[in-house]
Amino acid sequence: MQLKSLRRGAMSLAGAVLLAVAPPTHHAAAQSTGDPAVSSEREAGQIQIGLDVLDLVILRTDRRAREIASLLSGTQSARRLEAQIAWIEEIEQGDPRLMYEMALRLRDGDGLPQHRRAALTWLERAGDHGVPEGSYAAAGMLLDGPDLPGGQSLGKVLLWQAARKGVAAAQKDLGMREIAAGPRNGAYDRGYRWLLLAQANGAEVDAAALAEAAAALSSESIQYVRSSVKKAAGKDLLSLAWPFEEDVGARELWQEDLRIALRWEKCGRALAVLDDARQTGDPEADHELAVLYEEGNCVEQDATKAFDHYNAALNGGHLRSAFRLGLLYYDGRGTARDPALARYWFKAAALTLVGAPGNRGERTEYASNNMPPDPYLPRELPPELVAEFDWLAEIEDGDPKILHETALRVRDGDGLPRVRYAAEVWLSRAGKRGVPEAYYDLGRTLLDAPLYPIHPERGVIHLARAGRDGFVPAQVELGRRYANGDQVQQWDHAAYVWLLMAEENGADVAALREEVGARLSNEDRKTARAEAETGTYYPLDAR
């Protein structure tokens, strides 16, 4: 039975039930005006919505319909029960802020029976329909509520969504949780960003936590973060991508629409969102459509169509499809079985996990959690995929020079799958482990062939690290770029400093150094020489 069929003959009582559970001011107003409906309201006021009815909130459409039929067949008070069910429908189809408020009352048992799972569902739904505070409240229930175990992953996602939608309290909470995690996988950097953003959006932030995070970051990173936060303050970050780049924002917006449509069983809306996104050429849309075909969600299950869409996504540069495509080749679903191609795509899939999660166990767990559900394949990971995780660990834990060389091969697709993000992470790690050439290669890559059109200062930062470590080509590169304004804003003073440092280390840059020096005053040249002698370097345009 569909909920809409219950509305006939029940809506007047539904409104009365709503009055009975809403704040008492409405009922008092009716009494004081002599409203003829008062007697029916008083009768409805005796209706107490039961926990068994509130259980309906957490059920999907088909199960809810069966449960409604079961409830109605086993009661002598069908009219009263229909009114309670209709009240639930009114809340879910009405103002999402009212649903948020009712969810808080269900959570706390404030004038309604305490039903925390129903509260959680409505908070999530309110968050998905324009009340981001709902996502934050739901995150708190999952992350901190002992009676709702097993929801840590979802809680983190909801907290992140609320923070991205501009809830300052969520931004503060997320920042504090990141810092509490310690200096692991960039947690201090992320925590510092979120706390600064929360502060910019009006939240009171613990100064000691900010100082703890800042102490773990370099001065150039702090300056870069502050610049990013300044641009993002007061904005809904779902229209931007961290660190606040607008080109990825369109993807995140339609992904959010798709997630909401699928979560609340709006298949027509989900398919329309994907069709619109595919028309724009976004390969992510092909990946998402492939998942629907593989799992038979909103469309008839079809492994061949899934294979075609995964391939289309990969051809568009969407490497997250590599894992699923490798599984199709491995099992021979939707295509002929091909162990060699399966292994190739497993290696590409493994490389997409470089950076986060960070160790073999976490990567294996992540892959296990993203296996297609039964009956497609057993939950165990193919040993060939596990072997690729072992290969990652061997490269990452071994000689940093080999890590550097492998990163360049991954960057360029030289005998290995081309996964630029993995290459950039590995170049950074090799640089931190004493290979300044890796910082040099990373800096040039970020400046000349950026994976994302982010601000050029990230590339300059890495070149500066190599230059600071005494790698002369990086010093020359910085001097040349600042002198000519190549992918950075022209800055003669910084160019002169770097060229002086390179010349001191034997580089043949006298002609360019003199050309730049001619554009500076005597005082500037004198200051620059003093800075070069003390090793002062200029990673950013700080003017």
In this predicted model, what pLDDT tens digit does every residue of 108-125 receive, in sequence order?
999 889 999 999 999 999
What was the pLDDT predicted at 184? Answer: 65
| 47 confidence band (pLDDT: 50, 70, 90) | very low
Tens digits of residue pLDDT in 472-525: 999 999 999 999 998 888 999 999 999 999 999 999 999 999 999 999 999 999
Query: Element (H or E) spanning 9, and its range?
Result: none
Q: What are the structure tokens assigned to 40, written together?
A: 């029916």
Query: Residue 241: phi, psi to the nearest 5?
Result: -120, 140
- Please name which of 320, 326, 245 lies closest in space to residue 285, comparing C-alpha atoms: 320
Task: Decide: helix, strand or coil at residue 256.
Answer: helix
| Structure token pair of residue 283 | 């390969």
Residue 436 has a pLDDT of 95
Task: Decide if 122 contacts 106 (C-beta within 8 A).
Answer: yes
CA 173 to chain centre: 16
Taking the alpha carbons at both ends of the chain, their separation in whole angstroms is 68
What pLDDT shows up at residue 145?
78
pLDDT-derived band of residue 346, with 50, 70 and 90 as boundaries? very high
Peptide bond into 357 cis (omega under 30): yes
Q: Is the pTM here over 0.75, yes or no?
A: no
Q: What is the DSSP letter of 159?
A: H
Report CA 349 to chain centroid distance, whole Å: 19
Of 261 and 12, more confident: 261
pLDDT in tens, 283-322: 999 999 999 999 899 999 999 999 999 999 999 988 889 9
Angle at 399 between CA 355 and CA 411, to 5 degrees: 50
Beta bridge partners of 241: 245
The answer to whether the beta carbons of residues 175 and 198 sit under 8 Å apart is: yes
Q: What is the pLDDT of residues 378-431, one digit of tens each?
A: 567 899 999 999 999 999 999 999 999 999 999 999 999 999 989 999 999 999
d(CA 536, CA 539): 10
Task: Specify the pLDDT at position 1.
Answer: 37
Domains observed in the chain: 3-156 (no CATH), 166-244 (no CATH), 398-543 (1.25.40.10)
pLDDT of residue 535: 75
DSSP bridge partners of 245: 241
Residue 318 confidence (pLDDT): 87
Position 211 pLDDT exceeds 50 = yes
Q: How is residue 282 annotated by DSSP? A: -
